[in-house]
Amino acid sequence: MKISRRFAIAGASAGLAIAAMAAPASAVDFASMSSINKTLDDRYNWIPCGALEVALSEGGVLEEGQYNRELAEAITAKGEGWLTAQYPQVGAWNADQAAAIADHAQVCGLVKEDTYISELTSTLSS
């Protein structure tokens, strides 16, 4: 039973990695990191919600009561390293993909929609 779960987690992780690499790179609109008054990105809607939940949980980025923006920031932080430090375009692409994944997590009900209060709290705590 544990072996099949590990294979499922590995498969979901590999699928997310392949999807992230296959998606077209584009300039990041940092205002779109918030789901307030925006259309949610649908690039990752092909990923089943259960697989997304497992991958995000096992990746250590999904937490209970998390907002869309918080998940996007956690995914972005997880992807930071020497490559994003060396090439800012990769960091911008990483943030864009993280926002798209967080949007799909919101559609799946894994995270809450950002609110003006959650955005204000984020701004004040920074």
Residue ranges per structural domain of the chain: 2-25+41-125
Cα 117 to Cα 97: distance, rounded to the nearest angstrom: 24
At 63, the amino acid letter reads E
pLDDT tens column, 92-107 = 999 999 999 999 999 9
CB 88 within 8 A of CB 95: no
Query: Backbone phi, then psi, for 67, in 5-degree steps?
Result: -95, 160
β-bridge partners, 67 = 112
Percentage of the chain exceeding pLDDT 70: 61
Tally Cβ neighbours within 10 Å of residue 60.
9
- At 35 the pLDDT is 45
Highest mean pLDDT among 9-18, 29-38, 57-66, 112-121: 57-66
Between 49 and 38, the more confident residue is 49
To which CATH superfamily is domain 2-25+41-125 assigned? Alpha-helical porin B/porin C (1.10.10.1280)
Is the pLDDT at 43 greater than 70? The verdict is yes
Average pLDDT over residues 58-87: 93
Q: To 10 degrees, the CA torsion angle through 24, 22, 38, 126?
A: -90
β-bridge partners, 112 = 67
CB 16 within 8 A of CB 98: no
